[in-house]
Structure 1
Amino acid sequence: MNHQETISSHYAILIGINAYPEKPIPSGVRDVQNVKKYLKELPYHVDIEIFTASGSSESGVSSPIELPTFWPTHEHVTSALKRAASAEAGDFVYVHFSGHGTRAEPCGVFSNESTGDLALVVLDGTGSIQYLWGEDLSHLIKIMIDKGILVTLVLDCCFSATVYRADEPDVRFLPYNPAINAGPAQKPRELLQSTGETYRDVSMLPNWMLNPNGYAILCASGPDEVAIGPRFGKDKEKHGALTYYLLESLKEVGPAKRHKDIYDNLSVKFRKSGLQQHPVRYGNKRQGFFDHVQSDVAALTVPIIQKRDKGLQLQAGHAHGINDGDQFILCPWGSADLRSEMQESSVMARVTHARAFTSDLERLEDQISVPVKTGWVGRATSSSCLRKFPIQLDSSLSQRDEWLTAFNERSIDAHIEMVEQSFSFHILTNGNNDIEILDQSNQRIPYLLTALQDGSDIKRICEMVEHLVRYEFVKSLSNNILGQSFPESFRFDVYMLKGQEVIRHGTLVELEDGTEVRLVVQNNGTKSLYLSVYALGPCWEIENVIHGSYEVIPPKLPQLKFRGATKKKIKTTVPEELRDEGYRQCQDVIKVFITSRPATFDLLELPKLNEKAKRSPASEEDRTEDDDDLFEHWVALNFSIRTFAK
Structure 2
Amino acid sequence: MDRPPPPTHHAILVGVNWYESQPLYGAVDDVLEIQAFLAETIPSVQLHTFTATASDDPDFPGPIEEEQQWPTTKNVFNALSGVTRESKPGDFVYIHFSCHGTTFEDKNGPNGRALALVLLTHDKRERYFWGRMLSSQINNMVEKGLKVTLVLDCCFSGNIRGEKIIRCLLADPDIARASGFYDDPSLLERAFATSGMRDVDMMFDLKIRNPSQYALMVASGPDQEAAEVKLPGTEKSNGQLSRLLLDTLKTRSDLERNIHDIYSRVCFGFEHNQLKQHPILYGNELLPFFGGSITRSRSIPSPYHPAYFEVKTEEGDRLFLQAGKAQGISDGDEFELYASTSTTEEARPDSIIARVSKATAFKSALETVGATLENLRGWSWKAIIRSQAALRKYPIKLSSGVPDRDAWLVELRKRSLDAFASSEDTESRAFFFSVDLEDGFFVFRDSDGQKVPNIPVLDGSQPNIRELSDLLEHLVRFHHVKDLKNTETPGTFENSFQVEVFVNIERPDSATGIESVKRQVDTSQVISIGHDKKAEIIIRNEAPHDLYVSIYNLSPQWGVVNALSVTFTKIATKNGPGYPKTIRKMFKMRIPDGMLKNGDTSCKDILKIFVTSHPSWMYNLQLPKLDAYHGFGESPGRPSDPVTVEENWTVMSLDFDTAV
TM-score of the two chains, using structure 2 as the length reference: 0.83
Quick one: which of 313, 319, 332 aligns to 1:325?
332
* Cα distance between partner residues in 2 of 1:76 and 1:6: 26
Quick one: which of 514, 523, 528 aligns to 1:510?
528
* Cα distance between partner residues in 2 of 1:392 and 1:506: 33
Q: Secondary structure at the match of 2:211?
A: coil
C-alpha deviations, 1:580-613, integer Å up to 9, x for none?
A: 4443211011122233333222211111224446
Q: Hey, what does 1:383 align to over in structure 2?
A: 388
Quick one: which of 410, 415, 419 aligns to 1:410?
415
How many Å apart are 1:133 and its aligned residue? 0.8
* Cα distance between partner residues in 2 of 1:44 and 1:405: 47
Bigger relative contact order, structure 1 or 2 (CA pairs below 8 A, ≥6 apart): 1
Cα 1:325–1:542 change in 2 (3 A) is: same
Cα 1:102–1:287 change in 2 (3 A) is: same
How many Å apart are 1:300 and its aligned residue? 0.8
Q: Hey, what does 1:425 align to over in structure 2?
A: 433
Q: Hey, what does 1:450 align to over in structure 2?
A: 457
Q: Secondary structure at the match of 1:535?
A: strand
Q: Does 1:353 align with 2:358?
A: yes
How many Å apart are 1:281 and its aligned residue? 1.1
How many Å apart are 1:492 and its aligned residue? 3.6
* Cα distance between partner residues in 2 of 1:236 and 1:603: 41
After superposing the two structures, state which structure 1 stretch, 215-224 or 254-263, moved more.
254-263
Q: Hey, what does 1:303 align to over in structure 2?
A: 309
Q: Does 1:20 align with 2:19?
A: yes
Q: Hey, what does 2:616 align to over in structure 1?
A: 599
After superposing the two structures, state which structure 1 stretch, 417-426 or 353-362, moved more.
417-426
Unaligned runs of 5+ in 2: 342-347, 505-517
Quick one: which of 133, 143, 146 aligns to 1:146?
143
Aligned partner of 2:154: which letter? C
Report the identity percentage.
Answer: 30
Q: Hey, what does 2:116 align to over in structure 1?
A: 119
Q: Secondary structure at the match of 2:604?
A: strand
* Cα distance between partner residues in 2 of 1:73 and 1:96: 15
* Cα distance between partner residues in 2 of 1:131 and 1:213: 28
C-alpha deviations, 1:423-481, integer Å up to 9, x for none?
A: 43233455x47543222333211012412645965554433222111101111212334
Question: What pairs up with 1:608-623 in 2 under 5 angstroms?
Answer: 608-612=625-629, 622=639
* Cα distance between partner residues in 2 of 1:178 and 1:169: 25
TM-score of the two chains, using structure 1 as the length reference: 0.85
Q: Note if contact 1:392-1:426 (Cα within 8 Å) is conserved in structure 2.
A: yes
How many Å apart are 1:220 and its aligned residue? 0.4
How many Å apart are 1:533 and its aligned residue? 2.1
* Cα distance between partner residues in 1 of 2:465 and 2:39: 50
How many Å apart are 1:520 and its aligned residue? 2.4
* Cα distance between partner residues in 2 of 1:356 and 1:366: 26
* Cα distance between partner residues in 2 of 1:219 and 1:60: 36
How many Å apart are 1:360 and its aligned residue? 2.2
Q: Hey, what does 2:49 align to over in structure 1?
A: 50
Q: Hey, what does 2:519 align to over in structure 1?
A: 501
Cα 1:529–1:327 change in 2 (3 A) is: same
The two structures, once aligned, show a CA RMSD in angstroms of: 3.7
Cα 1:506–1:260 change in 2 (3 A) is: farther
Q: Secondary structure at the match of 1:257?
A: coil
* Cα distance between partner residues in 1 of 2:275 and 2:651: 28
Q: Note if contact 1:268-1:305 (Cα within 8 Å) is conserved in structure 2.
A: no
How many Å apart are 1:633 and its aligned residue? 3.1
Aligned partner of 1:159: which letter? F
Aligned partner of 1:533: which letter? I
Q: Hey, what does 1:522 align to over in structure 2?
A: 540
Q: Does 1:159 align with 2:159?
A: no
Q: Note if contact 2:7-2:45 (Cα within 8 Å) is conserved in structure 1.
A: no
Q: Hey, what does 1:576 align to over in structure 2?
A: 593
Q: Secondary structure at the match of 2:537?
A: strand
* Cα distance between partner residues in 2 of 1:373 and 1:7: 44
C-alpha deviations, 1:215-258, integer Å up to 9, x for none?
A: 22110011122211123355363321110110011112689832
Q: Does 1:365 align with 2:382?
A: no
Instruction: Tell me how many residue pairs correspond in the alignment.
Output: 621
* Cα distance between partner residues in 2 of 1:441 and 1:545: 30
Q: Hey, what does 2:221 align to over in structure 1?
A: 222
* Cα distance between partner residues in 1 of 2:17 and 2:59: 11
Q: Secondary structure at the match of 1:307?
A: strand
Q: Hey, what does 1:290 align to over in structure 2?
A: 290
After superposing the two structures, state which structure 1 stretch, 209-218 or 447-456, moved more.
447-456
* Cα distance between partner residues in 1 of 2:604 and 2:545: 34
How many Å apart are 1:539 and its aligned residue? 0.8
Q: Hey, what does 1:133 align to over in structure 2?
A: 130
Q: Secondary structure at the match of 2:86?
A: coil
Q: Secondary structure at the match of 1:39?
A: helix
After superposing the two structures, state which structure 1 stretch, 321-330 or 76-85, moved more.
76-85
Q: Does 1:477 align with 2:470?
A: no
After superposing the two structures, state which structure 1 stretch, 411-420 or 546-555, moved more.
411-420
* Cα distance between partner residues in 2 of 1:208 and 1:189: 11
Q: Note if contact 1:357-1:620 (Cα within 8 Å) is conserved in structure 2.
A: no
Q: Hey, what does 1:339 align to over in structure 2?
A: none
* Cα distance between partner residues in 2 of 1:602 and 1:13: 29
* Cα distance between partner residues in 1 of 2:568 and 2:451: 35
Cα 1:175–1:7 change in 2 (3 A) is: same
